């Protein structure tokens, strides 16, 4: 039994096979996403808002030298459950989100040259008005930003299930009974940073270390054992 709001971390073999699985409300079974995972139960009693997860970890934020870390790939799972009762179960094999890049810093603005009007006296003592140009001071360059990391790929899911006298509803977020939500999307990429703006007579920064890769969704094989047995 996994009690309410508790998380059970599957062992190093990433396999959990039991005769009876009881998950109280908000209970979680956590698999290692770096390994293929297996969950099997001959009888399953699932409460409300329960979670089976092999979701990939999100990437960390970037630094001045590196883009945001890539999100980790979601782990693939094989699940066989015979539901005796079912509240709401989410199965999450999605990829992690890429870490955000960092913003560059703006350069110093600088000081533009300016003109001042002065009155001086010539050799004969007569006043004369002259325009004096006072040099400005250039600004400094904006520093570079870094790109966000790529999202991780979603893990594949093979899900075989049967139910005792009820029909489960899939991927209806607002349904709280007899509900199964499957998440296997690739993670989204992290946000790229904003380059710093250069000051007077200086240049803006760029986005550095950019390697863009689109993440892939995991595949789903869904088998209703009730229908297969007829």
**Would 101 be classed as within a structural domain?**
yes
Task: Give me 209's structure tokens.
Answer: 């270390």
Q: Alpha-carbon distance 77 to 196, whole Å?
A: 44
Q: Poorest-confidence range of 5-9, 56-60, 147-151, 204-208? A: 204-208
**Would 90 be classed as within a structural domain?**
yes
**Would 2 be classed as within a structural domain?**
no
Structural domain containing residue 78? 7-228
**Would 41 be classed as within a structural domain?**
yes
**Would 1 be classed as within a structural domain?**
no
For the chain, what is the domain count? 1
pTM tops 0.95: no
Mean of per-residue pLDDT scores for the chain:
93
Residue 230 has pLDDT above 60, yes or no: no
pLDDT of residue 90: 97
Q: Poorest-confidence range of 44-53, 62-71, 147-156, 159-168? A: 62-71
**Would 169 be classed as within a structural domain?**
yes
């Amino acid at each position: 039994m996994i009690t309410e709001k508790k998380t059970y971390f599957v062992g190093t073999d990433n396999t959990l096979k039991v005769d009876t699985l009881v998950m109280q409300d908000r209970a979680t079974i956590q698999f290692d996403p770096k390994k293929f995972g297996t969950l099997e139960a001959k009888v399953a009693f699932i409460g409300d808002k329960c979670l089976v997860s092999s979701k990939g970890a999100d990437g960390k934020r970037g630094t001045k030298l590196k883009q945001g870390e890539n999100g980790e790939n979601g782990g693939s799972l094989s699940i066989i459950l015979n539901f005796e009762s079912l509240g709401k179960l989410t199965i999450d094999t999605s990829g992690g989100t890429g870490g955000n890049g960092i913003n560059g810093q703006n350069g110093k603005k600088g000081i533009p040259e300016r003109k001042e009007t002065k009155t001086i006296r010539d050799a004969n003592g007569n006043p004369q008005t002259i325009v004096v140009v006072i040099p400005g001071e250039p600004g400094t360059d904006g520093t570079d930003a870094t790109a966000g990391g790529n999202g991780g790929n979603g893990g594949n899911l093979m899900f075989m299930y049967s139910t005792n006298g009820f029909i489960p509803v899939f991927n209806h977020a607002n349904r709280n009974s007899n509900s199964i939500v499957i998440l296997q999307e690739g993670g989204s990429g992290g946000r790229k940073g904003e380059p710093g703006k250069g000051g007077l007579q200086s240049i803006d920064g760029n986005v550095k270390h950019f390697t863009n890769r689109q993440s892939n969704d995991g595949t789903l094989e869904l088998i209703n054992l009730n229908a297969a047995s007829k």
